[in-house]
């Protein structure tokens, strides 16, 4: 198992657009296994390769272990509802920091699996929020950028204080 290390906010790689995956092989499967291990080690529900400094379009989501792990290669949103919903969000790269983010309540998205086979799927609720959050990360948009300046500054200040204490 390759050991991946999570980046920490404000690492500039967290604002970098990721390259599409064009080779579907054992290395990609190993990267997905390694990311799952890292995500579980920090009790996350979603992670991208970018969170570990690998700037490629790979997302791992596990909202509930009983529902299993979902792996999305090259995901992109094809439709988003006008209706919005707020959900508490955070990042594995900014542990302990959370805030409510408002996003479209429903989306349709396309992706490939680990073999390269294309898929399209709809998502609502927390799953929709998670997918939008992770796809944003692949596009170089860190979740804080979805907050108002006031909320963003408050979250960053609180998080920086918590990092000094730990």
| Catalytically active residues, by annotation | 134
Sign of the alpha-carbon dihedral angle for 93, 97, 102, 106? positive
Instruction: Tell me if 72 sits within 8 A of 61, measured CB to CB.
Output: yes
Contact indicator for 114, 27 with CB cutoff of 8 Å: no
In whole angstroms, give the CA distance from residue 69 to residue 65: 7
Which two structure tokens, joined as six digits, stand for 160?
């920086």
Q: What is the SS3 assignment for 90? A: strand
Q: Which two tokens stand for residue 91?
A: 């990042």
Three-state SS for 32?
helix
Pairing of strands 106-112, 94-104: unpaired
């Amino acid at each position: 198992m390759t050991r991946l290390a999570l980046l920490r906010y404000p690492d500039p790689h967290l604002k970098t657009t990721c390259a599409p995956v064009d080779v579907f092989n054992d290395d990609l499967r190993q990267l997905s296994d390694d990311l799952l291990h890292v995500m579980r080690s920090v009790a996350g529900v979603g992670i991208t390769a970018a969170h570990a400094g690998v700037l490629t379009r790979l997302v791992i989501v596990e909202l509930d272990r009983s529902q299993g792990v979902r792996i999305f290669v090259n995901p992109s949103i094809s439709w988003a509802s006008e209706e919005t919903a707020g959900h508490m969000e955070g990042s594995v790269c900014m542990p302990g920091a959370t805030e409510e983010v408002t996003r479209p309540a429903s989306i349709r998205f396309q992706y490939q699996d680990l073999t390269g086979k294309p898929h399209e799927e709809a998502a609502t609720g927390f799953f929709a929020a998670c997918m939008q959050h992770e796809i944003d990360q692949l596009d170089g948009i860190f979740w804080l950028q979805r907050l108002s300046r006031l909320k963003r500054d408050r979250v960053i200040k609180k998080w920086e204080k918590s990092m000094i204490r730990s």
